[in-house]
Amino acid sequence: MSEKKEEYLEAMYRLTDGKKPIKTTEIANYLKVAPPSVTEMMTNLAKDKLVKYVPYKGVTLTEEGIRQGRRITRKHRILERFLSDILNVRKEDTHEQACKMEHVISDEVEEGMCRILSNPKECPHGTEIPECPKYPAGCKKCRSGKNVPLSSLKKGECAILELILADKNTRAKLNSMGILPGTEILVVRRIANGPVCFRACGTEIAVDGEVAKHILVRKKNG
Amino acid sequence: MAKDIEFGYGCNNCRNSRNNKCNRHRHRNRWRFGRPIRIALVGAPTSGKSAIFSRLTGVGVISTNYPGTTVETTSGNVRHKGNEFEITDLPGIYSLSATSEDEKITRDFIFKNKPDVLVNVVDATRLESNLFLTLQLLELGFNLVIALNQIDLASKMGLKIDTKKLSKELGVPVVETVAVKGLGLLQILDECILVAKNMNNSGDRKKRYYFYPFDDHLEDSLKNITSVLPEMASKRTIGIKALEQDEEYLKNVLSNEDFDKIVSIANDEKKKIEKAHPGIPIKDAMLRERHAKAGAIAAFVTEKSKRNKLANIEMLDDILTSPGSGLVILALVLFSMMLLVFYIGGIIEEYIVSIFDALVTNPLQDALSGTHPLLRNVILYSMLGIEAGLGIVIPYIGIFYIFIGILEDTGYLSRAALLLDNACHKFGLHGKAIIPIVLAFGCNVPAILATRTLSSKRERILTGIVATLTPCSARTIVILGLVGKFVSLAAAFSLYAFDVAIIVVVGYVLGKYLPGDKTGLVMEIPILRMPDFVGSLKKSWLRMQEFVYVAFPLIVIGSTILGVLSGLELLDDIQNIFEEPSMLILGLPGFAVTALIIGIIRKEMALEMLAVLGGTMIFTEILTPLQMYVFSLVCIIYVPCIATIAMLKREFGTRDAALITTFTIMLAILIGGSVFRILTIFQVF
């Protein structure tokens, strides 16, 4: 998809949250472009089945259109957070930068930033960041606050694994050992600020402190 | 399958008779396969594949109680009941997805070489997690025989596993084994024969595909995918692989046309499923189902009793891994090991050297006194080389390996890795890197090989560099034999401390600036167990053999070259070239530099050559204490020995091997030069 199309979808998603139809003039005002070019773009998007014309009311996003719009909006707002929180870019400048960057970063980059920021809920301007499309269930889990990182567990505590946020290779390794969301684990040993040893799937596994911070679990009583 | 393979009955003993009624050996006739049955051992790390392999074939491979010991494939042959077997030991894997180096090796081997039977070694104490791989192998339609290993330990833990139930559940034969004691191993071969027989009887490998169902969505998709395939044996496998999007596998088994078709259908199906299970990637969904199934099977066949005889061990484990007592114990273990190695090693070395002198060197010297100097030198120098080799290999390295073998068997090294994980993080490494470094104290060569268990290239190179700077037994001999004997023990220890400091600084700096991914530590902790002393002895013998094969030829060649050079009186010329720069930079005489250059062959030879070139074993006559100190220091740091360089090249490539070598030379000159200057100013000696 071209950058321009993405920009339009993002704008429409922001203006309506994808629900009610919008007039093309509204879009033109928001994006500061001439109305005829909006109409032209809408015809293109309609061909791609991303928007639908609603006679006399304007245009509305299709399901796929909403998905795309949400995806880009999410990237945009995460980028803003990243720029302001990690790179200390001035809050006023983040929007412009993010607008350009959102089209080029891959999903993996977005995921990584989300991890570093420990799953932010809002962009610096206070609007909500849409949930992660890959793990919508997981996203709720990380934001709900009920879940704690594995590293915070003490010896002898039992928990259910909810989400692994660690990098791809580590996740693959844990998965192949049977450590998946839903697995029950029992912490048998731990070294302060360091590795955590836990029993799961009938074996004992050790992960280092960094990995333990990126494994979210729900504590179980008893 | 190739046509030229003969199947059928025949006499095992005379091997000529085609029918099984050979009159001479009638009572021994059994079915036999027309060619060696190819078997591969697969299973999770530390499940005991290597133990089974070396017990069966007599081919020595090293087995330990920490994950990732086997990093290469090894094959051996064995005959049983008239059948030839070609058995291959593979690195341990948790699943068939290839993420680390050793996993790739195993995966490639079983896909490309297609062994007749896979012996899946399953650790009975970790049935649930090990069955996951078993299920994956079954999906792929391999002929499996399951070796349920460590069954004795499982029963001690209060786990009773119903083998028959397990066999019925999985549809493959299951054999109970205790590999370290050699129990049940021949039954594995019996089962393999039966499997091979079935394979033959049913014609073109029409195997009974055992499979367990996934959930309905996945099953429907599988049906849709497989329906477009032409009739073939492994339809289901291809369907599963297509859903997992394992394109590498699919490309190998399918024609281009089929491949494109399958991939596009699989994509559609994937979208459908992901709609039905929102938020769960399809791969994860399949993983989860397999794990759930593995857990269910394990629970079904296992009876747990409350009596766990290993409860005491858990307490011991707590002591070993608590930061306070654990570190003290670790320091004590390593320190006493080093001390014992050098104490016992020293005694044995003296014996060996004096016996060798009395029996070989001295008589030879007398016998050769009248001959041509070239011949005399060549023979005498090579004898000296062999003597040096014997004096090092058997006492120091041998004993070091015995201790390491015991430590490995107990599973203690994994605990050490845990304890030191935090410290290792400062160098951008994780605790697993400790194992190669401990090995490096014995010899750098196996240490570099052991870096394969680390998951990223960056960590491997970093650990490799640290390992090459670690004082191996050969370098310790130079330190003790020169500085320890002729300067003072304190000075020798200060050299050791100095080296450790260098390692720390180099490790820290490189850890900061070496590019590459940092990955986290995920390691299975094996159960602590009593070491097998006989096994440890065998293992250290094996490692010594490896060492002898690599090192001895080099020692003899090096000594011979030196003999030729000195016979032709070229040595003086070479020394003269080095005399000036080395006096200027390091304050060392020319012959010391020649000795160092020879030391590239084997580090301890630097000391031997110093004696030969200087004309005396009493080094105080030819070198000042300061010179000895600088000599030893340079000897520790400069250039890894030839065997290590060869290993570096094999593991990391020519470029990195050359870089590491150059780096160490520069470092040695830099540090040697500065120490020489500083010590001269302060007049320490």
CA distance B254 to chain A (A): 26
Tokens of B620: 């105080």
What residues of B are in contact with residue A193 (Cβ under 8 Å)? 422
* Closest partner CB to A180 (pick from B127, B288, B524): B288
Residue A17 backbone zone (phi > 0: left; psi -120 to 50: alpha; other: beta): left
Sketch the domain layout of chain B as residue ranges.
Answer: 6-196, 216-304, 323-682
Query: Is this complex's ipTM strictly greater than 0.95?
Result: no
Average pLDDT score, chain B: 77
| CB atoms B284 and A197 under 8 Å | no
**Which residues is B43 bridged to in the sheet?**
B121
Phi, psi torsion values for B430, nearest 5 degrees: -125, 175
| CB atoms B520 and A182 under 8 Å | no
Which tens digits make up the pLDDT trace of B246-264? Answer: 777 777 777 777 777 777 7
| CB atoms B431 and A202 under 8 Å | no
Q: Give the per-residue pLDDT at B66.
A: 56
Question: Which H helix or E strand runs over B356?
Answer: helix B323-356
CA distance B408 to B413: 6
**Structural domain span for residue A24:** 3-61
Which tens digits make up the pLDDT trace of A65-121? Answer: 888 888 888 888 888 888 888 788 888 888 888 888 888 888 778 877 876 776 677
* Closest partner CB to B279 (pick from A135, A172, A195): A135
Query: Total domain count for chain A?
Result: 2
Identify how many contiguous H helices and E strands chain B contains and give both numbers.
31, 11
CA distance B685 to B679: 8
* Closest partner CB to B523 (pick from A191, A202, A206): A206
Name residue, tokens 């061990």.
Answer: B313
Task: Assign B117 to helix, strand or coil.
Answer: strand
User: Could you tell me the pLDDT band of residue B3, with boundaries at 50, 70 and 90?
Assistant: very low
Q: Residue B546, class by beta-carbon neighbours within 10 Å (0-12 exposed, 13-18 middle, 19+ buried)?
A: middle
Instruction: Report CA Rg, chain B.
Output: 30
Residue B330 backbone zone (phi > 0: left; psi -120 to 50: alpha; other: beta): alpha
CB A203 within 8 A of CB B129: yes
Pick the residue of A131, A142, A170, A208 with the most B CBs within 10 A to test the interface with B by mutation.
Answer: A208
Tokens of B593: 């530099």
CA distance A103 to A84: 19
Pick the residue of A134, A151, A165, A176 with the most B CBs within 10 A to test the interface with B by mutation.
Answer: A176
| CB atoms A170 and B519 under 8 Å | yes
Pick the residue of A185, A191, A205, A213 with the most B CBs within 10 A to test the interface with B by mutation.
Answer: A191
Q: Is B281 an 8 Å CB contact of chain A? A: yes
CA distance B586 to B589: 9
Q: Which of B205, B195, B174 is nearest to B83 (CA)?
A: B195
What residues of B are in contact with residue A184 (Cβ under 8 Å)? none
Within a domain: A81? no
Q: Give the per-residue pLDDT at B321.
A: 79
User: Could you tell me the pLDDT band of residue B18, with boundaries at 50, 70 and 90?
Assistant: low
CA distance B404 to chain A (A): 22
CB A15 within 8 A of CB A26: yes
Within a domain: A24? yes
Q: Which of B147, A90, B599 is nearest to B608 (CA)?
A: B599
Name residue, tokens 């030379």.
Answer: B665
Residue ending a domain, among A61, A88, A106, is A61
Say which residues have a Cβ less than 8 Å from residue B136's Cβ, sequence separation at least 6.
B95, B96, B290
What residues of A are in contact with residue B47 (Cβ under 8 Å)? none
User: Could you tell me the pLDDT band of residue B201, with boundaries at 50, 70 and 90?
Assistant: low
Whether B6-196 shares its CATH topology with B216-304 is answered no
Q: Which of B38, B70, B278, B219 is nearest to A140 (CA)?
A: B278
User: Could you tell me the pLDDT band of residue B203, with boundaries at 50, 70 and 90?
Assistant: very low
Other CB atoms within 10 Å distance of the CB of residue B580: 10
Within a domain: A182? yes
What residues of A are in contact with residue B125 (Cβ under 8 Å)? 202-203
Terminal C-alpha separation, chain B? 75
140-169 of B, contacting A, C-beta below 8 A? none
450-469 of B, contacting A, C-beta below 8 A? 455
Residue ending a domain, among A25, A45, A61, is A61
**Which residues is A149 bridged to in the sheet?**
A216
CATH number at residue A209: 2.30.30.90
Which tens digits make up the pLDDT trace of B596-618? Answer: 887 777 777 788 778 777 777 77
CA distance A49 to chain B (A): 17
Name residue, tokens 């297609």.
Answer: B114
Which tens digits make up the pLDDT trace of B427-462? Answer: 777 777 887 887 788 778 778 877 776 767 788 888
CA distance B91 to B49: 8
CA distance B611 to chain A (A): 49
Helices (H), B202-308: 216-227, 235-244, 247-253, 256-276, 282-301
Q: Is B422 an 8 Å CB contact of chain A? A: yes
For B6-196, CATH number? 3.40.50.300
Tokens of B51: 């133990």
Assigned fold of B216-304 = Helix Hairpins (1.10.287)
Phi, psi torsion values for B175, nearest 5 degrees: -120, 130
CB A196 within 8 A of CB A214: no
Within a domain: A82? no
Which tens digits make up the pLDDT trace of B271-281? Answer: 777 776 666 67
CA distance B661 to B640: 7
CATH number at residue A40: 1.10.10.10
Residue ending a domain, among A61, A83, A108, is A61
